[in-house]
């Protein structure tokens, strides 16, 4: 602020710190450190806010949603996008973005490929790309040398929770965000989390919903002892949020968010409590990049002890 650092006394705080992008050094790309290596968010800022093109000929590493959107955006601005290279065997972004941003503009998507080396002293001049095996290790003899003046990284987002950790808020190793209840409150009373700080969302709609929930619950917060029902997921899931539900259950419908660990077709989501199935729903398709939202009226279900999400094929 204009008055410098301020000290404010409050009984609640909402952590809306968002997320940060992984960098080239975090994915261990060999070579020099030339100008021209950007995260997708930085390239987006250059193009959309500063009105400056970050490249004339670029390679995109990773098929996250922002990277896919930037492939289309840069193409429309006259940049030559050589291709999008994804280390996994499936795209990391939404299916609609693969179709609308790559296929509609004839931008190649190379799965099971990664960038192995950078070339250039002051400015990036080229990169080496190679196929990877099932263990994601580059395969010798498959290297391709691609001249380019920019490498754009879309290799994942990490919830920004240094502030949460300084408050000794327990972090879920699956989501990399705080462990929260149905009110978006962490395990530290009065500390709430929302949006991409709580979990990385692929739709901004979900960011808004959790932010609205956290704000309302923070305003209503009263310190009192509560018991909670743990929520867990089988190994078929990357995670499920929230990770616990307070007792007594006061909310009607509770929003659960989850991601499958791998692509699944024609599966049944089964929610069990104390060994009994209390809810099930069929899904024609589940993909790790596409987070699912499920609203359940927990009060009307026979919930006791714990809740577990499982998949039946």
Please state, in angstroms and rounded to a whole number, the distance separating the CA atoms of residues 50 and 272. 51
**What is the three-class DSSP state of 166?**
helix
Token pair for 237 = 């899931």
Helices (H), 167-225: 195-198, 204-220
Please state, in angstroms and rounded to a whole number, the distance separating the CA atoms of residues 213 and 223. 18
Specify which residues 108 forms β-bridges with: none
Note the Cα 76 to chain centre separation in Å. Answer: 26
Please state, in angstroms and rounded to a whole number, the distance separating the CA atoms of residues 154 and 156. 6
167 class by beta-carbon count within 10 Å (0-12 exposed, 13-18 middle, 19+ buried): middle
Tokens 């020099």 identify what position? 32
Edge to edge, the sheet with strand 113-119 lists 30-31, 113-119, 126-131, 144-147
Please state, in angstroms and rounded to a whole number, the distance separating the CA atoms of residues 17 and 169. 14
What is the per-residue pLDDT for 44? Answer: 94
What sign has the CA pseudo-torsion 10, 219, 166, 228?
Answer: positive
What is the per-residue pLDDT for 6? Answer: 87
DSSP classification of residue 204 = H
CA 254, 259, 263, 269: dihedral to nearest 10 degrees? -30
Contact 149, 55 (CB under 8 A): yes
Q: Which residue positions in the chain have pLDDT lower than 50?
A: none
For the chain, the C-alpha Rg in angstroms (whole number) is: 22
Contact 271, 300 (CB under 8 A): no
Please state, in angstroms and rounded to a whole number, the distance separating the CA atoms of residues 138 and 112. 9
Note the Cα 41 to chain centre separation in Å. Answer: 14
What is the per-residue pLDDT for 1? Answer: 62
What is the per-residue pLDDT for 107? Answer: 97
Please state, in angstroms and rounded to a whole number, the distance separating the CA atoms of residues 221 and 164. 18
């Amino acid at each position: 602020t204009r008055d410098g650092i301020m000290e404010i006394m409050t009984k609640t705080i909402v952590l809306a710190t968002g997320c940060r992008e992984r960098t080239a050094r975090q994915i261990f790309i060999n070579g020099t450190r030339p100008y021209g290596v950007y995260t997708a968010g930085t390239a987006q800022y250059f193009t959309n806010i500063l009105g400056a093109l970050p490249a004339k000929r670029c390679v995109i590493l990773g098929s996250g949603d922002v990277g896919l959107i930037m492939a289309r955006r840069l193409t429309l601005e006259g940049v030559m996008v050589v291709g999008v290279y994804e280390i996994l065997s499936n795209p990391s972004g939404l299916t609609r973005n693969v179709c609308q941003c790559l296929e509609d503009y004839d931008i190649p998507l190379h799965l099971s490929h990664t960038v192995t080396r950078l070339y250039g002293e002051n400015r990036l001049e080229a990169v080496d790309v190679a196929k990877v095996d099932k263990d994601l290790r580059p395969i010798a003899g498959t290297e391709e040398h691609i001249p380019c003046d920019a490498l754009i990284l879309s290799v994942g987002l990490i919830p920004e929770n240094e502030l949460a950790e300084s408050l000794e808020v327990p972090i879920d190793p699956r989501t990399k965000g705080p462990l929260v209840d149905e009110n978006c409150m962490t395990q530290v009373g009065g500390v709430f989390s929302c949006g991409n700080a709580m979990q990385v969302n692929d739709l901004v709609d979900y960011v808004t919903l959790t932010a609205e929930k956290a704000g309302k619950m923070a305003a209503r917060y009263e310190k009192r002892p509560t018991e909670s029902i743990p929520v867990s997921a089988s190994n078929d899931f990357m995670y499920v949020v929230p990770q616990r539900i307070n007792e007594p259950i006061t909310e009607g419908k509770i929003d659960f968010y989850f991601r499958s660990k791998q692509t699944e077709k024609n599966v049944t989501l089964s929610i069990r409590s104390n060994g009994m199935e209390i809810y099930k729903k069929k899904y024609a398709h589940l993909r790790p990049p596409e987070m699912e939202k499920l609203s359940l009226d927990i009060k009307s279900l026979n919930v006791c002890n714990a809740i577990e999400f499982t998949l039946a094929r």
